[in-house]
């Protein structure tokens, strides 16, 4: 069954952008349960920090290109979460 699920993921992958437009929920659940899921601090201070940083930059670029958010001027009434 995993082979069929993965085939669906591959069919929904844009080879030019190397982005996945659809993913089966079981794949996401498996990743969420993975032990190989470091926190930001662990990733940025570990031996693979450069790779995580490049992946983060690519993800932000992709989200910006998709118009996932809008940058606005901060106003006093806004409830801004700490970073």
- State the pTM of this model: 0.53
Cβ–Cβ under 8 Å, residues 21 and 13:
yes
Q: pLDDT in tens for each of the 83 residues of the chain? A: 778 877 888 888 888 877 888 877 777 776 666 666 788 999 999 999 999 999 999 999 989 888 898 888 999 999 988 76
Cβ–Cβ under 8 Å, residues 38 and 55:
no
Dump the DSSP string for 15-79: TTTTEES---HHHHHHHHT-S----HHHHHTSTTHHHHHHHHHHHHHHHHHTT--------TT--
The residue length of the chain stands at 83
């Amino acid at each position: 069954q995993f082979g069929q699920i993965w085939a669906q993921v591959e069919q929904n992958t844009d080879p030019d952008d190397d982005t996945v437009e659809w993913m089966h929920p079981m794949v996401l659940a498996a990743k969420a349960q993975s032990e190989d899921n470091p926190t930001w601090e662990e990733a940025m201070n570990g031996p693979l920090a450069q790779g995580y940083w490049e992946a983060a930059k690519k993800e932000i670029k992709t989200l910006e290109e998709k118009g996932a958010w809008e940058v606005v001027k901060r106003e006093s009434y806004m409830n801004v979460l700490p970073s």
